[in-house]
Amino acid sequence: MEGIQSQVMEVQDRRSVALGDLRVLPDEIICDILENLTPCDVARVACVSSVMYILCNEEPLWMAICLKSATGQLEYKGSWKKTTLHRQHVQHEFAEPSKMTLNFDGFNSLFLYRRYYRCFTTLDSFSFEKGNVERKENLSLEDFHQEYDGQKPVLITELAEKWPARSTWTVEQLLVNYGDTAFRISQRSSKKITMKFKDYVLYMKIQHDEDPLYIFDDEFGEVAPGLLKDYSVPYLFREDLFDVLDRDQRPPFRWLIIGPERSGASWHVDPALTSAWNTLLCGRKRWALYPPGRVPVGVTVHVNEEDGDVNIETPTSLQWWLDIYPLLAEEDKPIECTQLPGETIFVPSGWWHCVLNLETTIAVTQNFVNSKDFEFVCLDMAPGYHHKGVCRAGLLAVDENTFTDAIGNAFHDEEWLTNPAIMREEKYKLKNDSEAGEDPLVDDNDEKNTNGFSKGYSNLQNQNFSYDIDFLSMFLEDVRDHYSSIWSPSNCMGEREMREWLHKLWVGKPGMRDLIWKGACLAMNTDKWASCMATICAFHNVPAPSDDEKFPVGTGSNPVSEPLVFLVDGYVIKIYVEGGLESSIHGLGTELEFYSLLYKVNSSLKDHIPSVLASGILIYENGSYKTVPWDGNGVPDVITKCNLVPGKSAENGFPFGVWSKQQFEYREAGIPIHELVNPVASTKIWPYIITRRCEGYIFAHLRDALSWDDVLNLASFLGDQLRKLHLLPLPSLPDSLYSDNEKKMNLSSVNSILGVSQQSSVPVEWGLFIETLTRKKKDVSSRLAKWGDPIPSSLIDKVEKYLPEDFAMLINLSKDENGLPKSPTWIHMDIMDDNIHMEPCFLGSCLNENGPNANGAMDCSSGNGEQRKWRPSHILDFSDLSIGDPLFDLIPIHLDVFRGNSYLLQQFLESYRLAFVRRISQDGPMGSQNKFSRTSYRAMCYCILHDENILGAIFSLWKELRSANSWEEVEEAVWGDLNKYESFC
């Protein structure tokens, strides 16, 4: 016995010796550092010492490493280390663990022990049978709206009784029907990861993960459409205002959810403050919920002050219940329940919730927006950041000044606003009450209290937070608006989709216009723009907008510089608002310069561009709006007063014309988006233009109704008009535009490739175009990574090597009739499906103007049953005009208008009849193997460097390219057809 005790006494802590200088770091930090290493580096570190060997062989570490780099389809190999090494193509004999017995004497880690416990604990005793979420049977629609909708959660017990899913959604049955179907896995990674269901079932059976992978697939209806037939939306939740959008336009809204014991969803508020219902078909789920603004203990909310993006730091669901929940005072505990098979839980807008699967569960859930939630959803998409934080974290998300300003905008209590001490004291009390467990949301005198949580209005005396749209909207920032602010990446849809959604609601649901108008005022300042419109119409004797016309059409395709468009009687009024004043004034100035040129050279292209009736600048000062006419010539006084100086002016009298615009775009190229805050971006000055309204409809509304012949005719039309555009002469290049050094831009390194003599150089007109591309390359990897899915991460790693080092080499110049290199051309930059107008014609003689239905679709039959045909008539919106490579114009046409159809591309080229690339002399050194000889290479480079997420469109149209191994593979699939058309050169 004494010998044994002596041996025990001699065991020493090996941690300090084994870790060296790293011993000062806690195990948690060391493990976090290891997660950022490559598999090879982890293997090397494991050889350093016995303790490092232990830390480097933990399954949670290898799970994190594997999921960080994994993309596409995943197959679990029995352990995360084996899975990682298999994906690294490590030979089998080296992937097997050592058979040597490990000795852990002298090392212990409370952090590792807790993590190990979470990996192997069971949840049999976690059921909360006495939950305080109300359970209801046979709940009527009227009672739901009156008692629960937008107010508090409820469990409903019989909504799924008649669903086929009640019997068919079991692991065994789904394995039979969908074993080879790949479903999307929960977002443990920024990449899109899928697993075949049969592989996922095997994973569930053998895994011991602390936070197991979770099938959470918002596209299950597309990969397994039969599942949609197994359930129906319960009658209580069928009002969904997102239904007016096409499937590819609306944000993700339905999910198949399958997970084993210990999996679940950590604390969160549903996207866009939508409501949700969740029906459980198999297993048991434990739910915890807090009302809006009540941040759960252990959760931290960060709101980005630049774009309003909301990030939440939260422990895993299991970790919260094990480590934090037991320490909560009774009054701090959440509303709870255990959901049983067949039950449906309703989660109202803005409610925090956390879910833990007590056993293997299968469920379906959908988010929706109805009349009660609509204004909250619009508020969530509004620009700024104060209101986003307040919606989720209550008044703890704002500082004293912000809160004082917000209250001051709504109330005028002189003592409150003039006594900062009161403000500080009450705000401090609010924070400490919350930290001490006292509920700052409760107002015992509020008649609308439910389960102890207030739903009433703000009470100034005790500073109660209120989840009320009038209260929350006080925190909107006056200095920012939808059209000049950075769009938050946390928003559930893009700017274009949001505008189109609101416009479709306005057109399709006239009975809800009061509500839609309120929401649109929150999201995009519609009331302000209505006042602007009234001023412009009155000044130019244009009829005042009717109720149908006072809402912006909102289908602009370019979220960077798309104008605000109104259709009034026979007029189109376009207000330049996005990108700040400098961007807007250059947009109008360039467009006016272009129209002037069309008439000066008498180009027939002018017949297919709407006629300009008036243009000017709208100004807000001294509480009212006024207009100043401006035709693009000279610098208006109002612009001079803003210290907005144009680029070195061209001699043709358009100081904010295309050459000045190119200088502006060059200055901003490559600058991170959060640094592009223009000092005059929020001034009350907006350029505008009025054009004649075309008959017919935009191509976006007609696409599905057109015949193949109509679309072929459109492709020919676009080829013909683009040829005219690209042959237009350029404005005179100011002598002072470039320095002598810039003018010399000799390309000795590429002369042989271009077939240009040693004495030749690229024309100076290409200078800014080339330099702008060079600037855009500097942050290309980070920009693509930020865009993320569906761009493959493996290709992002290779993108800089794929792009040329010198972009002058990309300009594969053709020659004019004198053998000199051609100059760049005018380029529209934005010919998409909503910038092409089509007019009706009939096979018969009857003309019947049928309009779009509520969803924007067209009725293509005449009143006499004759079939309507459509012909392209106009190209719209030249505010994005630039000067550069004409190949740029093919990108939106091929990807958005043609949707990648090679037959339409060929039809376009046959009508275009101009060279995109010079025919290379057979005597020259360039062979087919040289990438600069390929038109497809140039087009692909432009796609990568485009200001918009063109690559997202490519990998959405060609889904098979998400597993591509090289950019050359993508290039060939998308643009390879261009290399076949040298006969047109």
Question: What confidence category does residue 493 fall into, taking pLDDT thresholds of 50, 70 and 90?
Answer: confident
Q: What is the pLDDT of residues 684-708, one digit of tens each?
A: 899 999 999 998 889 988 998 899 9
Beta bridge partners of 841: 869
| Neighbouring residues of 101: CB distance < 8 A, sequence distance ≥ 6 | none
Tokens found for residue 462: 């005790």
Torsion angle, alpha carbons of 854, 860, 862, 863, to 10: -30
pTM of the model: 0.82
Tokens found for residue 195: 């697993």
pLDDT of residue 594: 95
Average pLDDT over residues 169-188: 92
d(CA 925, CA 753): 7
Query: What angle, 0 to 180 degrees and rounded to 10, lies between the N-to-C axes of helices 27-35 and 110-120?
Result: 70
Question: What confidence category does residue 887 fall into, taking pLDDT thresholds of 50, 70 and 90?
Answer: very high
Average pLDDT over residues 29-55: 92
d(CA 527, CA 509): 19
pLDDT for residue 348 is more than 60: yes
Beta bridge partners of 836: 875
pLDDT of residue 455: 33
Average pLDDT over residues 236-244: 95
pLDDT of residue 682: 47
pLDDT for residue 755 is more than 70: no
**Candidate from 27-31, 482-486, 506-510 with smallest mean pLDDT:** 482-486
pLDDT for residue 961 is more than 60: yes
Tokens found for residue 923: 């005597």
Tokens found for residue 799: 């993108």
| CB neighbourhood size of 405 (10 A) | 17
pLDDT of residue 709: 92
pLDDT of residue 928: 42
pLDDT of residue 881: 93
Mean pLDDT across the chain: 82
Q: What is the pLDDT of residues 276-286, one digit of tens each?
A: 999 999 999 99
Average pLDDT over residues 165-187: 94
Highest mean pLDDT among 452-461, 561-570, 844-853, 914-923: 561-570
pLDDT of residue 746: 42
Question: What confidence category does residue 595 fall into, taking pLDDT thresholds of 50, 70 and 90?
Answer: very high
pLDDT of residue 450: 34
Average pLDDT over residues 935-942: 93
Question: What confidence category does residue 623 fall into, taking pLDDT thresholds of 50, 70 and 90?
Answer: confident
Tokens found for residue 773: 């591309």
Average pLDDT over residues 417-430: 36
Where does 48-189 show beta strands of DSSP type E?
A: 72-73, 135-136, 154-156, 182-184
pLDDT of residue 467: 92
- Beta strands 310-313 and 564-568 are unpaired
